[in-house]
Amino acid sequence: MNVSDSEKIAGLLQPLGYGLTADPSSADLIILNTCSVRAKAEEKVYGHLGRYKPLKQERPHLLLAVGGCVAQQEGERLLRKVPFLDLVFGTHNLHLLPEMVRAAEQGERRVETGFMDRDERLDLFPVDAQQGGITRFVTVMQGCDNFCSYCIVPYVRGREISRRSAEILAEIRGMAEQGVREVTLLGQNVNSYGLKGESDINFAALLRAVSAIDGIERIRFTTSHPKDISSALIDCLADLPKLCSHIHLPAQSGSDRVLTRMRRGYTRDQYLEKVALLRAARPGLQITGDMIVGFPGEDDGEFRETLALMEEVRYADLFSFMYSPRPGTEAAGYDGMIPRAEKQARLAELQALQRTVTAETNRSLVGTVQTLLVEGVSKKDGQVYGRTSGNRIVNFTGHRSLIGSFVEATISRAYQNSLLGELR
């Protein structure tokens, strides 16, 4: 999500003469695009800003900006705490950035964190202004109305809103004309697309419409909420060959009691039932997820239910986090906070289990033939890399002229985070 937002920011500032640099010491403008899902992400922002202070002293014309969730949450406070900061823009204010940067060039320090109303949001949906490329992100919905008890997203990103389908399809058609082969439809809960009324069609219908666009050969989407996996969406996996064999389906916990306190809206059995239906619709489907350990009140037995769920689902990959209390969320006021050392121990145990499962999943691919979309040059000389439909990276010896095309490769070796292949 943040990668896609950063690309949009870069696109918005191009007309003002700003381009990208990998070297902060030569930059005229540094923008920190932030996340506040966990306290650690938030603390990092202050750390980064501290590191840029000497640069600002050396080059006084350098502009420093903070955008995204931390900006939304902290607003004015950021400018007060960080006297050398120039700009703060919230999650609904991307479109104001060009004029804010112009004003900052004239010495004006500004904060914009207002939320837009529905109509403004529909009209100002941020589009990706990048050109070309092979794979691109397309934002289809924003915000979240689920209010899981631990999560700050609904507060910092605002109410859920779905972009007009005609605009999404026009953007993707334009990408296809530029040679883009794969799109990832993005949103906090993509599969609740259209359920709130502004859009004419639901997510399954959107997938079918994207699938009908010539030139786009692969479609991915993220993130999906288990409670909103509909039978229409499951049918798409069975019917649409362009849809990739991968779904990111965060469970967050394997314990019903914890899931209830998290307000996730499904039980362990309902989650497993969705997984079974998805796998029946698309044999070989790779499933990834997110898991939180040490949620308030989580006892050892409840934690073990999470491990057991992981063994049952066998995630290809899992993002796992220690519960982090977020100010203003319901769970931050719950009893039974778990000591940090205990959370760390649970996380280590969970991650060790996942490493084993990931390694086994990767090894099971050795000897199979995979269709890869070649995306770029590998770190190792003479190699390029592509991605399987199931979202695994495969490095192989091949020429860079293959980038952008589909190739078939036999998987010859499995590593923890990638695979090695040989062109067929």
**Is there binding between residue 188 and ligand SAH (CB under 6 A)?**
yes
State the SS3 of 288-352: EEEEEECCCCCCHHHHHHHHHHHHHHCCCEEEEEECCCCCCCHHHHCCCCCCHHHHHHHHHHHHH
**Is there binding between residue 198 and ligand SAH (CB under 6 A)?**
no
**Is there binding between residue 261 and ligand SAH (CB under 6 A)?**
no
**Is there binding between residue 52 and ligand SAH (CB under 6 A)?**
no
Element (H, E) at 351: helix 340-363
Q: How many CB atoms lie within 10 A of CB 408?
A: 11
**Whether the bond into 21 is cis, omega within 30 of 0:** no
As measured in angstroms, the least distance from the Cβ of 249 to ligand SF4 is 12
Alpha helices (H) in 373-420, listed in sequence order: none
Q: Report the residue number, 189 or 288, with the smaller CB distance to ligand SAH.
A: 189
Rounded to 5, what percent of the chain is helix, strand, coil? 40, 20, 40
**Is there binding between residue 162 and ligand SAH (CB under 6 A)?**
no
Amino acid symbol at 396: F
38 binds, among ligand SF4, ligand SAH, none (CB under 5 to 8 A by kind): ligand SAH
Q: Report the residue number, 113 or 223, with the smaller CB distance to ligand SAH.
A: 223
Query: Contacting ligand SAH (CB under 6 A), which of 250, 296, 386, 390?
Result: 250
Query: Contacting ligand SAH (CB under 6 A), which of 5, 18, 34, 38?
Result: 38
As measured in angstroms, the least distance from the Cβ of 227 to ligand SAH is 10
As measured in angstroms, the least distance from the Cβ of 105 to ligand SAH is 35
Site string for ligand SAH, 109-148 (x = CB under 6 A): ----------------------------------------
Q: Which residue is nearest to ligand SAH (CB)?
A: 290
Q: What residue has token string 């050969």?
A: 217
147 binds, among ligand SF4, ligand SAH, none (CB under 5 to 8 A by kind): ligand SF4
Q: Tell me the residue length of the chain.
A: 424
Of 282, 348, 299, 358, the C-alpha closest to 321 is 348
**Is there binding between residue 151 and ligand SAH (CB under 6 A)?**
yes
Backbone angles phi, psi at 337, to 5 degrees: -60, 135
Query: Contacting ligand SAH (CB under 6 A), which of 11, 28, 37, 115?
Result: 37
* CA atoms of 412 and 417, how far apart (whole Å): 14
Is residue 115 within 8 Å of 92, Cβ to Cβ?
Answer: yes
* CA atoms of 205 and 215, how far apart (whole Å): 19
Query: Contacting ligand SAH (CB under 6 A), which of 165, 191, 199, 252?
Result: 252
**Is there binding between residue 354 and ligand SAH (CB under 6 A)?**
no
Looking at residues 282 to 341 of the shown chain, list those that interact with ligand SAH (rule: CB under 6 A): 290, 292, 321, 323-324, 326
Is residue 195 within 8 Å of 202, Cβ to Cβ?
Answer: yes
Is residue 326 within 8 Å of 151, Cβ to Cβ?
Answer: yes
Q: Three-state DSSP class for 189?
A: coil
Q: What residue has token string 């334009």?
A: 174
Q: Report the residue number, 42 or 171, with the smaller CB distance to ligand SAH.
A: 42
Catalog residues that contact ligand SF4 under the rule CB under 6 A. Answer: 144, 146-148, 151, 153-154, 188-189, 225
Give the interface with ligand SAH as residue ranges (CB under 6 A).
37-38, 150-151, 153, 188-189, 223, 225, 250, 252, 290, 292, 321, 323-324, 326
